Amino acid sequence: MFIPPGFEQRSVVTSLGRMVYYTNVGEPWQTLWGDRDTPEELPTLVFLHGFGGGSSAYEWSKVFPAFAHEYRIIAPDLIGWGRSEHPERDYQIEDYLSTIAEFVQETCSGPVPVVASSLTAAFVIRVAIAHPELFNSLILTTPAGLSDFGEDYTNSFFAQFAKTPVIDRLLYNTGVATEAGIRSFLASRQFANPSLIYSQIVEAYLRSAQQPNAEYAALSFVRGDLCFDLSLYVPQLAVPTAFIWGRESQFTGPEIGKRIANLNPSAIRYFQQLDNVGLTPQLEVPAIAIALIRQFLTLLQQPLPTATPTPESP
């Protein structure tokens, strides 16, 4: 909803409709590209936002401009969110697995690094298992399926309440798609320090939440229709991966994250916990998120050191 300077809105068509994305196309970045005239000549870096009332690519907008002088940035609004199309449907997991894969195939040539958040990051792990040729590394903040290790979010009171017809729309219109509802959600679910929730963040989430038919994707998320047990899939991952986890994450704490990472240490090579940070470090502490992403982009391209053989006793 707020486009950083030097970025423009473009779109591609997926099987569920048109997906809008934001990419760097000109000044001030063009001056920094040197003899490379177009962003297509740069390596691509993809940023995917998470889910919640009013989510959109804005979630990464304080981070991705820091990489625009060296990468072709691709930051979409997922189907049902932001400025992308909002089909009237009860969204299912497969909807996002398929459209994420289609989007990467349509906008990228060759394997690319992907930065993703929360439930979307968990979807990206499954997409990377099915299509490892699309990715060369994953940097994921709080990747969780929200039903991990049998802890089923769908049994919670809030999820059950959101499944009640009529009540679900009332809940969205009065408790989510309002300035007070957005601020409350961010303070209780995404930020460890609510004083960092400034007015532009609330306005960006509110604009996304008030798009026509925005309630369909949001309520599918709230009801738990998109939840799954990520621990069942992680052992199959082969793409080099790093986790960034806010200690105060309200959905899934770092203890669960470490258990997930330990299921596949050959792929999940780094786990960075951030104290006094919530679910979205990219909004709460963007400078730290930038530094960690930059570091992991380098580290994940390096081969793992081979163990030195232990000399045999004579």
CATH code for position 23: 3.40.50.1820
Query: Do 26 and 51 touch, CB atoms closer than 8 A?
Result: no
* pLDDT of amino acid 49: 98
Task: Note whether residue 126 is domain-resident.
Answer: yes
* pLDDT of amino acid 305: 63
- The pTM of this model reads 0.92
Task: Note whether residue 203 is domain-resident.
Answer: yes
What total of structural domains would you count in the chain? Answer: 1
* pLDDT of amino acid 170: 73
* pLDDT of amino acid 210: 94
**How would DSSP label each residue in 209-269?**
HTSTTHHHHHHHHHHTTT-B-GGGTGGG--S-EEEEEETT-SSS-HHHHHHHHHT-TTTEE
Task: Note whether residue 313 is domain-resident.
Answer: no
Residue pLDDT tens, the chain, 314 long: 689 999 999 999 999 999 999 999 878 887 776 665 567 788 999 999 999 889 999 999 999 999 999 999 999 999 999 999 999 999 999 999 999 999 999 999 989 999 999 999 999 999 999 999 999 999 999 999 999 998 765 565 455 545 555 566 777 887 788 999 999 989 988 999 999 999 999 999 999 999 999 999 999 998 889 999 999 999 999 999 999 999 999 778 999 999 999 999 999 999 999 999 999 999 999 999 999 999 999 999 988 765 444 444 34
Task: Note whether residue 82 is domain-resident.
Answer: yes
For 273, the domain range is 7-299
* pLDDT of amino acid 309: 46
Contacts of 123-130 with CB under 8 Å at 24 or more apart are 123/93, 123/96, 123/97, 124/48, 124/100, 125/230, 125/233, 125/234, 125/237, 125/241, 126/97, 126/233, 127/97, 127/100, 127/101, 128/237, 128/238, 128/239, 129/233, 129/236, 129/237, 129/238, 130/97, 130/101
Task: Note whether residue 112 is domain-resident.
Answer: yes
Task: Note whether residue 309 is domain-resident.
Answer: no
* Coil vs helix vs strand at 114: strand
Task: Note whether residue 228 is domain-resident.
Answer: yes
* pLDDT of amino acid 164: 53
Task: Note whether residue 207 is domain-resident.
Answer: yes
